């Protein structure tokens, strides 16, 4: 049974994500932490007749929210408004993530940490640097959540191919997403080239790639100033957490269908091989990983050998942007003393 803490639990993502976690039979203790409403939401959730407990914690109680927690999920931070890039969130969210990571290092140093807050490409390096500076970084336990890109890559493919002919389930093995989590760093790659050829033949490939890369903008625009994706993100965050929880409870390798997540490559088996194959020194990248006991145990790199020419070009565009995003996070973290 697992104790899970949500940092930023009262937000647009935090609330539905907490609900999904409360419904999960593998969660025994759910802790909600936010600047506001955490006690209220926890009391609300605690009336649901599932086996887990739900407790709320305010800012003075963060140590209790984290103590003994095995999984910490972070959707704390401001979301975009129309006209903003994810990078525009950096100034505010970097400080929030840095201060929360300091608390995690102190009160839950062994927890797995899932970073949802944006910009993921820069905030995961902050979590890394902050933990590393106090000797508490464990490479397999820090993951940036890019699952929404993968979910979109399936949905938008069905949108093109037609819902009557193709179920989303059938297409889940056709395409995945690697790279980072913003604009041109988001790279859909076809694991089944038949679908790539189909999009190329029907001249829909470019618009498909663009939609996967900028899918977040569709929601920001439609919400018209009230924020960005929350419900689909809660589902995406929960889907990733569920996969992690499943691996935590299996003694063997279990469900080992790799799922992409944004990780620190040099610290993980397969990470350096991936850097070599991509011919890059970029240290953080979202690639399919194997999870065991709730930890990333290997980064996949075979997929690089199968990239088509279009995908190779997308990766070449992604890497320098990603490198800058990562540098920005690392320098902020090194220069900021809280």
Ligand X SMILES: O=C([O-])CC(=O)C(=O)O
Ligand Y SMILES: NC(=O)C1=CN([C@@H]2O[C@H](COP(=O)(O)OP(=O)(O)OC[C@H]3O[C@@H](n4cnc5c(N)ncnc54)[C@H](O)[C@@H]3O)[C@@H](O)[C@H]2O)C=CC1
Of 131 and 178, nearer to ligand X (C-beta) is 178
Backbone angles phi, psi at 13, to 5 degrees: -85, -45
Q: Which does 220 bind (CB under 5 to 8 A by kind): ligand X, ligand Y, none?
A: ligand X
Does residue number 261 form part of the binding site for ligand Y (CB under 6 A)?
no
Q: Does residue 86 have a known ligand-binding role?
A: yes
Q: Does residue 167 have a known ligand-binding role?
A: no
147 contacts: CB under 8 Å, gap ≥ 6: 236, 237, 239, 240, 259, 260, 261
Does residue number 263 form part of the binding site for ligand X (CB under 6 A)?
no
Does residue number 124 form part of the binding site for ligand X (CB under 6 A)?
no
Contact segment (CB under 6 A) with ligand Y among 76-84, 170-178, 250-258, 306-314 equals 76-84
Q: From the candidates 47, 107, 154, 181, which is the catalytic residue? A: 181
Q: Does residue 10 have a known ligand-binding role?
A: yes
CB of 52 to ligand Y, least distance (A): 21
CB of 227 to ligand X, least distance (A): 8
Does residue number 148 form part of the binding site for ligand Y (CB under 6 A)?
yes
Task: Please state, in angstroms and rounded to a whole number, the distance separating the CA atoms of residues 199 and 94.
Answer: 38
Q: Which does 18 bind (CB under 5 to 8 A by kind): ligand Y, ligand X, none?
A: none
Does residue number 84 form part of the binding site for ligand Y (CB under 6 A)?
no
Contact segment (CB under 6 A) with ligand Y among 77-85, 248-256, 296-304, 322-330 equals 77-85
Does residue number 230 form part of the binding site for ligand Y (CB under 6 A)?
yes
Q: Does residue 14 have a known ligand-binding role?
A: yes
Does residue number 10 form part of the binding site for ligand Y (CB under 6 A)?
yes
CB of 55 to ligand Y, least distance (A): 15
Binding residues for ligand X, total number by CB under 6 A: 10
Question: Has 181 been annotated as catalytic?
Answer: yes
Task: Please state, in angstroms and rounded to a whole number, the distance separating the CA atoms of residues 159 and 134.
Answer: 47
For binding to ligand Y (CB under 6 A), which residues are involved? 7-8, 10-14, 33-36, 75-80, 89, 93, 96, 100, 116-118, 120, 145, 148, 181, 227-230, 233
Annotated binding site: 8-14, 34, 80, 86, 93, 116-118, 152, 233
Q: Which residues are catalytic?
A: 181
């Amino acid at each position: 049974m697992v104790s899970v803490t949500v940092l930023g639990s009262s937000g647009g993502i935090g609330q539905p994500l907490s609900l999904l976690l409360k419904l999960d039979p593998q969660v025994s203790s759910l802790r909600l932490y936010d600047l506001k409403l955490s006690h209220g939401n926890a009391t609300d959730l605690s009336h649901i007749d599932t086996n887990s407990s739900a407790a709320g914690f305010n800012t003075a109680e963060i140590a209790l929210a984290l103590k003994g927690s095995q999984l910490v999920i972070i959707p704390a931070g401001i979301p975009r408004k129309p006209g903003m890039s994810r990078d525009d969130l950096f100034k505010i969210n970097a400080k929030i993530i840095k201060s929360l990571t300091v608390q995690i290092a102190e009160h839950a140093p062994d927890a797995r940490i899932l970073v949802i807050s944006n910009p993921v490409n820069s905030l995961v390096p902050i979590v890394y640097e902050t933990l590393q500076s106090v000797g508490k970084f464990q490479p397999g336990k820090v993951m940036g959540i890019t699952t929404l890109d993968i979910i979109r890559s399936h949905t938008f493919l069905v949108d093109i191919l037609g819902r009557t002919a193709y179920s989303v389930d059938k297409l889940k093995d056709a395409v995945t997403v690697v790279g980072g989590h913003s604009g041109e760093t988001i790279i859909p790659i076809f694991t089944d080239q038949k679908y790539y050829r189909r999009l190329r033949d029907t001249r829909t490939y470019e618009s498909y790639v663009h939609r996967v890369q900028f899918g977040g903008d569709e929601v920001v625009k439609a919400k018209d100033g009230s924020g960005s994706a929350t419900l689909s993100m809660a589902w995406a965050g929960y889907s990733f957490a569920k996969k992690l929880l499943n691996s935590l409870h299996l003694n063997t390798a279990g469900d080992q269908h790799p799922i992409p997540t944004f990780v620190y490559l040099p610290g993980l088996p397969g990470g350096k091989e991936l850097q070599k194959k991509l011919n890059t020194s970029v240290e953080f990248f979202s690639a399919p990983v194997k999870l065991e006991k709730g930890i990333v145990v290997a980064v996949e790199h075979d997929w690089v050998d199968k990239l088509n020419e279009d995908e190779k070009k997308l990766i070449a565009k992604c890497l320098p942007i990603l490198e800058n995003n990562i540098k920005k996070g690392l320098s902020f973290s090194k220069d900021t003393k809280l």
